[in-house]
């Protein structure tokens, strides 16, 4: 059953020929929730962008659902295969209404309003509002709601709880967990609240300055807070103070 949905083998990836992430080996199997954590500038966003075709693979191979990545011109194919990527800037369209934003994610353009509302009840009352007018958190909920509606085979969420109220953050991971369990989708999430992410995730990858410093069961990292904090403080964190 455990089909390999995403597979990085010894990958260097970056922009303009310069590697931001080095030597990354990472995989996500069907039905798994995998957390990708690390300090600012570690290369988490770059990793996700690589899968979507917007960062360059400089070395190694990336396979999505067993297929190699298409050329940049055909990057939209990745979306068609069932990969749903919620980018750091959320990727919602300010000029469209909430409902129209949701419709873009569904195959036949028909929105299953009830299902969207079951994830985020507030969305229901916002359906006809222009997405640009939403509050930051509401925009994040819209982006996540759209992702869940699209029934992805691989869901990647960058900075999942960015701008969300604590009470929502708590509910979020269980929702994603449930989706992975029910549909057998693979999930890769980037999250600043490491504790929250590690509670629900099966496995975790810890990136720092583009290097993988940990990979293994989430529980290991959960129990070893010392190591996690050291990564953020010692190895990471250097970003702002670096010249």
Partner 1 sequence: MILGIGAGAIIAALGIGLVLTYRSSGVINFAVGAVATYSAYVYSSLRTAGTYPIPPLPNPLAIAGGPSLPTSVRFGSSVAETPAIAMALATAALIGLLLHLLVFRPLRYAPVLGKIVAAIGVMIVLQSVVLLRFGAQARQVEAILPTTPVRAFGATVPADRFVLLGLVSVTTAVLWLVFKYTRFGIATRAAAENERSVTLLGFSADWQAGTNWVLACTLAGLVGILVVPITGLTPNLLTLLVIPALGAALLGGFSSFVIAAGAGVGFGMVESLLLIMQQRLAWMPKLDLVDALPFIVIALAMIMRGRALPSRGAVQTRNLPDAYASGMSFRAFIVLVLCVVAAAIFLPFDFRNGVTVSLIGAILCLSLVVVTGFVGQISLAQMALAGIAAFGIGSFVQNAGLPFALGFVLAVVAAVGFGLVVALPSLRTRGANLAIITLASAVAIQYLLFERTGWFGVSALGRKSVPPPEILGLYFGPSTRFPIGDSKIPQPGFGIFVVLVTAACCLVVTALRRSHLGERMLAVRANEHAAAAAGVNVRVIKLTAFGIAAGLAGAAGALRAVQLGTYSPGSFDVLASVSLLVVAYLGGISTVSGALVAGSLFTQGFWTVVTDRFTNFGTYQTYVLGLALLVTLVTVPEGLDAYHREVGRALKRRWRRPEPPAVVHEKP
Partner 2 sequence: MTESVVLETRELTVQFGGLLALCDVSIDCHRGQLTGLIGPNGAGKTTLIDAVTGFVRATGQVFLEGEEISALPPHRRAHRGLTRTWQSMELFDDISVRANLEVASRRLTFAGGLRDFFGGRRVVDERARWALEVLDLMDVAERKPRELSQGQRKLVGVARALAGGPNLLLLDEPAAGLDQTATVRLASQLRGLIDLGHTILLVDHDMSLVLRVCERIHVIEFGRLIASGTPEEIRADSVVIRAYLGSSGSRA
Ligand X SMILES: Nc1ncnc2c1ncn2[C@@H]1O[C@H](COP(=O)(O)OP(=O)(O)OP(=O)(O)O)[C@@H](O)[C@H]1O
Ligand Y SMILES: Nc1ncnc2c1ncn2[C@@H]1O[C@H](COP(=O)(O)OP(=O)(O)O)[C@@H](O)[C@H]1O
Q: List residues binding ligand Y (CB under 6 A).
A: 15, 20, 38, 40-46
Q: Which positions lie near Mg ion, rule CB under 5 A?
A: 45, 135-136
Closest approach, Cβ 66 to partner 1, in A, equals 18
State how far the Cα of 138 lies from the Cα of 213, in Å rounded to an integer: 34
Site map (CB under 8 A) of partner 2, residues 160-199, x = contact: --xxxxxxxxx---------------------x-xx----
Among residues 79 and 163, whose Cβ is nearest to ligand X?
Answer: 163
Q: Smallest distance, Å, CB 23 to ligand X?
A: 38
Minimal distance, residue 119 CB to partner 1, in Å? 18
SS3 category, 33: strand
* Sign of the CA dihedral running 196, 216, 87, 103: negative
Cα separation, 243 vs 239, whole angstroms: 9
Work out how close the CB of 95 gets to ligand X at its nearest, in angstroms, rounded to a whole number. 14
Binding span for partner 2 by CB under 8 A among 1-9, 23-31, 147-155, 159-167 = 159-167
Tell me the C-alpha distance between 53 and 77, whole Å.
10
18 touching partner 2, by CB under 8 A: no
Burial class (CB in 10 A: 0-12, 13-18, 19+), 37: buried
β-strand partners of 36: 190, 205
SS3 content of the chain, % helix, strand, coil (to 5): 40, 30, 30
Q: Which is nearer to ligand Y, 216 or 238 (CB)?
A: 238
List residues near ligand X by CB under 6 A: 129, 133-138, 163
Which of partner 1, ligand Y, partner 2, none is residue 52 near (CB under 5 to 8 Å by kind)? partner 1
């Amino acid at each position: 059953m455990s089909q390999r949905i995403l597979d990085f083998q010894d990958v260097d990836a970056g922009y303009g020929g310069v590697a931001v992430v080095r030597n990354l080996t990472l995989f996500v199997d069907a039905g798994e929730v995998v957390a990708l954590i690390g300090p600012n500038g570690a290369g988490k966003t770059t990793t996700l962008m690589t899968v979507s075709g917007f960062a360059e693979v400089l070395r190694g191979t990336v396979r999505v659902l067993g297929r190699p990545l298409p050329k940049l011109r055909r990057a939209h194919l990745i979306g068609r295969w069932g990969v749903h990527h919620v980018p750091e800037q959320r990727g919602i369209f300010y000029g469209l209404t909430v409902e129209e934003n949701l419709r873009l994610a569904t195959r036949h353009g028909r929105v299953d309003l009830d299902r969207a509302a079951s994830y985020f009840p507030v969305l229901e009352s916002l359906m006809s509002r222009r997405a640009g007018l939403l509050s930051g958190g509401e925009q994040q909920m819209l982006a996540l709601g759209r992702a869940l509606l699209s029934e992805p085979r691989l869901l990647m969420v960058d900075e999942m709880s960015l701008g969300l109220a604590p009470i929502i953050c708590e509910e979020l991971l269980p929702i994603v967990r449930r989706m992975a369990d029910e549909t057998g989708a693979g999930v890769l999430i980037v999250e600043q609240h490491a504790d929250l992410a590690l509670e629900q995730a099966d496995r975790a990858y810890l990136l720092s300055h583009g290097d993988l410093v940990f990979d293994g069961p989430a529980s290991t990292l959960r129990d070893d807070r010392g190591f996690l904090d050291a990564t953020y403080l010692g190895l990471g964190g250097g970003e702002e103070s670096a010249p």
